[in-house]
Each structure stands twice: as structure tokens, then as C-alpha cells.
Homo-oligomer: A and B are copies of this chain.
């Protein structure tokens, strides 16, 4: 197995270091190659994602990414030019984001809840398409547009994936989240596709919720959700909220999947580069380590994946949450746990 590693910016390299430590314990035969994409490379060469690097990345079985983004780079440059470019070029149409409240973790909600949901976020179109522009910039008549592009092709493949995942989970529930009462065109397409694909999955219970209402239920009754399928932007928003109610983005993992396997999938913590704490050795590497579990699952190593998850579950249940230890300490504990 050949893994490309993109540590990226801020705390990215710190958490990726620990994730690789854990990976090396469970799967020592994995070969890794590091790629120095990110703010530093952009500053020194102006490059974001050279074609040659993209071709090399394509030759790998998977990618592990730390984080992308730096205050020294204008907003959008690294995000659109590197992170989203990777997701789009490598056709990562299923952005998989589980959110689980682990025993021992105290989320911000007062009501005791069992939370175990997964958001299947579309990853290659919608409001993230990047189509739009500025007309009459810097005049009083300026107009800025953003175009959300939703295709039957793109919606169907992610909805299909979400149904399959739902049918394999104990509760077999799927919730479409959108804003069909306002975004009537995109909403109509998403609703029709969900209705059609649901005919192939009579075992899956389907419901629909407006995105604004979902934010309410996510804080009053998050236990109700099983699988949520939604577009790129709503998925971005809801997965940060779901991460928050399950104890924070320090433990939220994600996979950017090309489920057709034509391209390598990419695994990354949901959190960003967190420049405010970078270099201090205090970032929690748990999200990056749980992303390794998703990676192992995707590569057909479910037993190894379960071992990583079990180690994380044990550590979260037993760690002193007021003083979890620094980045290295958490990584060392988890590396020891997976090899024991």
C-alpha cells in the first residue's frame, strides 16, 4: 500500500506525525511519500498543486492530509487552489463525516444523548462549484454571483452511496437535508433523486428536513439522526455543528472518497490548520488518527480500522479531558494501545 502524505499548514504536520505513528504500528508495510504542498510552497514558488505532483498523487492508493490554510495567504487561495482542487480533480464525490459521542466525552449539551450519525456530504459540486464572478468590481454597481451547480449524475451517486451506508447500519435511517422551500430548483432535483433511489431500498426509512431546522434538532435531539445526505455547503456547515455536539473538532475525522476507486481517496481531520495553536505541541491528533481508521476501512482493512477506533474509544473513555496531554503524548498513548 502506497500512501501519499500532505501534512500541509499549521497544526497539519503535527497531527499527521502522530497519525503516521499509529499507522506504522497497525500497518508497518505501508510506504509513505510526503508532499510539501501548502502555504510555504506557495510563498516560495507560487505553486499550489503542480500538474506533476497531481499525477504522482494519482499513483498512490490513498492520501492522508493534515490541514490547509494560513493567515499569511489571502482567503481562498489555498482552499480553492489546493484543498478543493484535490477533492475535485480526484473526484471525491462522497465526503464521509461520522460524528459519534464517545463514552467519556462530554459534549456541550446538557441532555444525555447517544449520538452516532454519519453525514454523507456531496464533495464535487453544489455551491462549491466555483462558478460565479464579480461584475463592475469596486463600483457602487458591483454584483457578485455564486452559482450552485447540481447534476443528476452528481446527486445520484452520492445519494446512492448514502442509501447503501444507511442499509448497512442498525437503524437504517436516511435524512435528506436541504432547503427545498427556497432553493426550489436544486431542492427539486435532490428530492426526486432521493425518492427514486429509495425505491431500491425499501428497508431504509427516509425523511426530509430543512437545513435550518436541522441545526435546531442537532442541539436538542441529535440522537435522532442516523445517515444524513446533503449538498457540499450544507454538509460543510452541519458537520462542524455535529462535531461540536459530539465533543469538538479535536476528534472529528473525514474521508473524501472516490467510491468508484478510479482515483485515490483522501483522509483528513475535519479541523483546519489552527494557526493560533500551531507549533505549540498541544493540538489533539485524535481526529487525524480516526481519519487513519477511515482510510484503513476504505482500503479493505476493517479489522485494523476497528483496532484504531477501539484504541481511540479506550483513550477517550479514560483520558483526563481537562489535561489530555500534548500532541505527542496522545499519539504515543494511541500507538501503544493499537499495538497492545
Q: Which of A's residues lie within 8 Å of B, judged by CB?
A: 69, 75-76, 79-80, 84, 106, 108-111, 127-128, 130, 132-134, 138-153, 179-189, 191-192, 211-213, 215-216, 219-220, 233, 236-241, 243-245, 248-249
Q: Which of B108, B153, B186 contacts A132 (CB 8 A)?
A: B186
CB-CB under 8 A from A244, the residues of chain B are 215-216, 219-220
| A241-B216, A249-B216 known; A152-B181 Cβ under 8 A | no
* Chain B residue nearest in CB terms to A142: B152
Q: Are B132 and A148 in contact (CB under 8 A)?
A: yes
* Chain B residue nearest in CB terms to A127: B183
CB-CB under 8 A from A212, the residues of chain B are 236-237, 239-241
| A145-B148, A244-B219 known; A182-B76 Cβ under 8 A | yes
A124 CB to nearest B CB, Å: 13
CB-CB under 8 A from A245, the residues of chain B are 219
| A109-B108, A185-B145 known; A237-B237 Cβ under 8 A | yes
A109 CB to nearest B CB, Å: 5
A187–B132 alpha-carbon span in the complex (Å): 11
| A152-B141, A186-B144, A241-B215 known; A233-B76 Cβ under 8 A | no
A132 CB to nearest B CB, Å: 5
* Chain B residue nearest in CB terms to A111: B108
Q: Are A182 and B240 in contact (CB under 8 A)?
A: no
CB-CB under 8 A from A108, the residues of chain B are 109-111, 219-220
Q: Are A187 and B150 in contact (CB under 8 A)?
A: no
Q: Are A134 and B189 in contact (CB under 8 A)?
A: yes
Q: Are A236 and B179 in contact (CB under 8 A)?
A: yes
CB-CB under 8 A from A143, the residues of chain B are 149-152
A153–B142 alpha-carbon span in the complex (Å): 8
Q: Are B151 and A148 in contact (CB under 8 A)?
A: no
Q: Which of B69, B144, B188, B233 contacts A185 (CB 8 A)?
A: B144
A133–B130 alpha-carbon span in the complex (Å): 18
Q: Are A188 and B145 in contact (CB under 8 A)?
A: no
10 contacts between A and B (CB under 8 A): A76-B181, A80-B181, A84-B182, A109-B110, A127-B182, A139-B152, A142-B152, A145-B185, A148-B148, A182-B236
A273 CB to nearest B CB, Å: 11
A186–B148 alpha-carbon span in the complex (Å): 13
| A150-B145, A181-B76, A184-B75 known; A215-B240 Cβ under 8 A | yes
